[in-house]
């Protein structure tokens, strides 16, 4: 993919519908591998909505970047400045809340571009450490983040209704230079 085909930009209100559909598609592709069960259906219908996407976009400390190829939304990255992980010492932290790439665009460097832009933004805000959680069943994420300089520092649980889903916590110390 040539650099002029990929555009990374900050999300805007007009992007809410397309972004929500991308979130739904990537989430379902990642987490719904054995069919739909009630807990998944309830989570998707209550959490992955345009209203929720618009609310994230409006939050003061949330920064959402989009990746477009030829005018089509193919990825996004969401960070939350000031959201701390209790397993990481220090106060200047941010969470990499989501990094999603459309499955048809895996392996093209889009995730790395989004991550690089997000980390640069966080550094400019004085963030020293960025952390994230990844589901233990997401092999691509479990390989990607260590390659991008993130250390696996422990385990956590994502609660989805009555289900507990095992996740790994990853952390990266950001250098002060951009």
* Dist. CA 103–CA 44, nearest whole Å: 18
Per-residue pLDDT of the chain (178 residues; tens, 9 = 90+): 454 599 999 999 999 999 999 999 999 999 888 889 888 899 999 999 999 999 999 999 999 999 999 999 999 999 999 888 888 877 789 999 999 999 999 999 999 999 999 999 999 999 999 999 999 999 999 999 999 999 999 999 998 878 888 999 999 999 865 4
pLDDT of residue 85: 83
Task: Tell me the residue range of the domain where 72 lies.
Answer: 6-11+61-173
What are the DSSP E strand ranges found in the chain? 6-10, 62-69, 72-81, 93-101, 129-135, 151-160, 163-173
CATH of the domain at 103: 3.40.630.30
Note whether residue 138 is domain-resident.
yes
- What is the gyration radius of the CA atoms in the chain, in angstroms? 16
Note whether residue 43 is domain-resident.
no
Note whether residue 48 is domain-resident.
no
pLDDT of residue 176: 66
Note whether residue 91 is domain-resident.
yes
Q: Which two tokens stand for residue 162?
A: 């009555």
Non-local CB neighbours of 149 within 8 Å, separated by 6+ positions: 172
pLDDT of residue 123: 95
Note whether residue 50 is domain-resident.
no
Note whether residue 23 is domain-resident.
no
* Dist. CA 24–CA 16, nearest whole Å: 12
Phi, psi torsion values for 68, nearest 5 degrees: -125, 145
pLDDT of residue 177: 56
Of the candidates 142, 148, 155, the one whose C-alpha atom is nearest the C-alpha of residue 173 is 148
Note whether residue 115 is domain-resident.
yes
Note whether residue 137 is domain-resident.
yes
Overall domain count for the chain = 1
């Amino acid at each position: 993919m040539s650099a002029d085909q990929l555009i990374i930009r900050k999300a805007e209100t007009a992007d809410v519908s397309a972004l929500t559909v991308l979130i739904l598609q990537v989430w379902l592709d990642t987490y719904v591998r054995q069919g739909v069960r009630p807990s998944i259906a309830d989570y998707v219908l209550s959490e992955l909505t345009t209203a929720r996407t618009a609310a994230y976009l409006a939050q003061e400390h949330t920064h959402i970047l989009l990746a477009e190829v030829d005018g089509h939304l193919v990825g996004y990255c969401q960070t939350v400045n000031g959201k701390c992980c209790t397993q990481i010492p220090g106060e200047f932290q941010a969470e990499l809340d989501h990094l999603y790439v459309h499955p048809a665009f895996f392996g093209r460097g889009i995730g790395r571009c989004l991550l690089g832009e997000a980390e640069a933004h966080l550094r400019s805000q004085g963030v020293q450490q960025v952390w994230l959680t990844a589901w233990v069943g997401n092999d691509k994420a479990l390989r990607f983040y260590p390659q991008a300089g993130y250390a696996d520092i422990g385990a956590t649980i994502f609660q989805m209704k009555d289900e507990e889903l095992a996740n790994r916590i990853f952390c990266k110390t950001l250098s002060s230079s951009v």
